[in-house]
Amino acid sequence: MDIMFKMIRASKEAYLAEFYQELFNQYRSTTLNLRLMWSDTIITMDEEHIKFILATGFQHFWRGRRQKERMELFLGDGIFNRDDEQWKAHRNLARPFFSRDRISDFEIFERYTDATLSIISSLTDAGEPIEVQDLYARFTLDTASEALFGERLDTLHRALPIPGKSTMSAKGSATKDEFGDFVQSFEVAQEIVVRRSGKGYFWPATQLLKDDIEPHADVISKFLEPMISRVLRNKAQMKKAGIVPTVEQSTFLDYLADNTEDPKVIRDQLLNILLAGRDTTSCLLTFVTYFMALHPEVVQKMREEVFKFIGATRAPTIDDIKELRYMINETLRLFPPVPINQREVRNRPVLFPKSDGTFLEESQAPIYAPANTVVIYFQWFTHRNPTLWGPDADVFDPERWLDDRLRTFTENPMIFTPFSAGPRICIGQNYARNEATFFLVRLLQQYDTFTLAPEVQPEGSLPPPEWKRAVGRKGIEKLRPAYALTLFAKVR
């Protein structure tokens, strides 16, 4: 109980996941059993153990019953909330829409990038600060909705939040309209899921009268319902006309409707894909911009490369953006979109392999995990581990992806898993990388200076003064990273 109370307090006051890092350091082990609420809960930052969970021992783990129950009303029968044959079916259904040909067509990226840069230009010309976290979430939502669903949500053209004056949602600013309601419910539902995880077996006892997610699920469904109704009507009309479109002629939403007429199943799949398409890429762009504000020398170097290889006005191609991945990779290393995740041991116990040697005195005996044990793993720590990345692991340095230090990764790719790994690796990772890099190039073609605006940050969203005395990233951070299924910059 003492550990649980400390966890809850630390989640509100400390640097992200700091409490767990202190436990790993205190016990000089990269994998621990916390034994929370009389139940085994294994936590690990061990690269070898994470590799085992995600890849080499994949068959021993699953999302598990408890995680599904926590997220059922929110994500339902979607790809992130299912295992085994259901998960495989969902993945196979989505795979054609993330093929190289589809994600290399930058026309949609170009259109929504232009719209976003137009907003940035109008605000900067007026000397106004920009809430980029909200703006990037709109950019990625609009792009994903058209690229994958054939729908134009046009959230970029709706009212924008005013920094320092807007309503706060779970992850950032919000507006008081239908879209603002959707965003708030979408983000609060994620926050509730994470809180439930911290309560272990006992979270249902707090929901005896009503499920906290239910009103937010209703708002989300109301926002998505017109999209679902349209695709089902179109399907009926095409069927009546005897038209059978191919996969190449279909959007992901069309393809879903061809496979089911159940609105709830379509809603669940839509929401799971929107979660990935909106939140992961907007997180990446937010922290890329953050680092550009902190490191003007990196901005100068990247602009020189953009102007040398692409020019001042030309849109980048798929070959162009491959050369600029080092900035994206370094941001993903320090701020992975999903910094913490979990699995559950299946109904037979399992032995973990030897540890990665972070703590020299750590026992190399295999670790026993009982059946049905929850395992929480931290890419957040693996990506920042000096034993794996060298003594400068906490330092933002994109050059590590270009110089001799790159061997650290190429010799052991599992130390860098921003989009997971193994059979459940993110099916849309290349889509996210392409979208983010395309936008970054266009941004750098127009701007050479990025500045933080702490004066309009809401109270409590900036790092407290005592953080400056800390070592590592905590001591130099200018914002408070937070987590609710995906990473975000705390603004409340």
Residue 280 DSSP one-character state = I
226-249: pLDDT as tens digits: 999 999 999 999 888 988 888 888
181-196: pLDDT as tens digits: 998 999 999 999 998 8
Give the CA dihedral 316, 321, 327, 329, nearest 10 degrees. 150
The whole-number average pLDDT for the span 479-490 is 87
Q: How far is CA 290 from the centre of its chain?
A: 16
Mean pLDDT for the chain overall: 91
Compute the C-alpha angle 478/483/488, nearest 5°.
Answer: 50
The two tokens of residue 286 are 């937010």
Is residue 38 pLDDT above 80, yes or no? no
Of the pLDDT bands very low, low, confident and very high (cuts 50, 70, 90), residue 339 is very high
pLDDT-wise least confident of 25-29, 97-101, 190-194, 486-490: 486-490
Q: What pLDDT shows up at residue 205?
A: 80
Q: What pLDDT shows up at residue 106?
A: 94
- The alpha-carbon radius of gyration of the chain (Å, integer) is 22
Residue 39 DSSP one-character state = B
The CA distance from 136 to 307, in Å, is: 24
What is the three-state SS of 355-377? CCCCCCCCCCCCEEECCCCEEEE
Q: How many CA atoms lie within 13 A of 415 on its CB side?
A: 19
Residues above pLDDT 90, as percent of the chain: 75
What angle do the packed helices 18-27 and 2-13 form, to 10 degrees?
Answer: 130
For residue 41, the surrounding DSSP H or E stretch is strand 41-44
Instruction: Compute φ and ψ for 372, nearest 5 degrees.
Output: 70, 15
The CA distance from 189 to 429, in Å, is: 24
The two tokens of residue 472 are 């590592």
For residue 481, the cross-strand partners are 489
Query: Which residue has tokens 């936008």?
Result: 439
pLDDT-wise least confident of 88-97, 302-311, 359-368: 359-368
Length of the chain measured in residues: 492
What angle do the packed helices 65-75 and 263-274 form, to 10 degrees?
Answer: 100
Q: Which amino acid is at 390?
A: G
Smallest CA-to-CA distance from 338 within 23, 50, 49 is with 50
292-310: pLDDT as tens digits: 999 999 999 999 999 999 9
Higher pLDDT, 375 or 364: 375
pTM (two decimals): 0.94
Higher pLDDT, 176 or 450: 450
Higher pLDDT, 79 or 168: 79
Is residue 351 pLDDT above 70, yes or no? yes
Residue 121 DSSP one-character state = H
Handedness of CA 331, 54, 271, 102 (dihedral sign): positive
Does 283 appear as a known binding residue?
Answer: no
User: Which regions of 63-192 does DSSP assign to beta strands (E)?
Assistant: 167-168, 173-174
Q: What pLDDT shows up at residue 35?
A: 81
Smallest CA-to-CA distance from 277 within 153, 92, 447, 415 is with 153
The whole-number average pLDDT for the span 200-204 is 79
Q: What pLDDT shows up at residue 485?
A: 84
Q: What pLDDT shows up at residue 376?
A: 96
The whole-number average pLDDT for the span 199-226 is 88
Written as one string, the DSSP assignment of 240-279 is: HTT----TTT--HHHHHHHH---HHHHHHHHHHHHIIIII
Q: What pLDDT shows up at residue 221?
A: 95
For the chain, domains (ranges, CATH) are: 1-63+338-417 (no CATH), 64-337+418-489 (1.10.630.10)
Q: What pLDDT shows up at residue 169?
A: 58
pLDDT-wise least confident of 6-10, 107-111, 149-153, 301-305: 6-10
Would you say 264 and 405 are in contact if contact means Cβ atoms under 8 Å apart? no
Q: What pLDDT shows up at residue 366?
A: 84
Smallest CA-to-CA distance from 10 within 482, 491, 486, 484 is with 482
Q: What pLDDT shows up at residue 343?
A: 98
Q: What pLDDT shows up at residue 173?
A: 60
Q: Kindly give, in sequence order, each residue whose CB lies less than 8 Å from that of residue 266, ignoring residues fewer than 6 positions away.
A: 228, 231, 232, 253, 256, 257, 260
The CA distance from 316 to 189, in Å, is: 37
What angle do the packed helices 263-274 and 84-94 form, to 10 degrees?
Answer: 70
Residues above pLDDT 70, as percent of the chain: 94
Q: What pLDDT shows up at residue 254?
A: 93
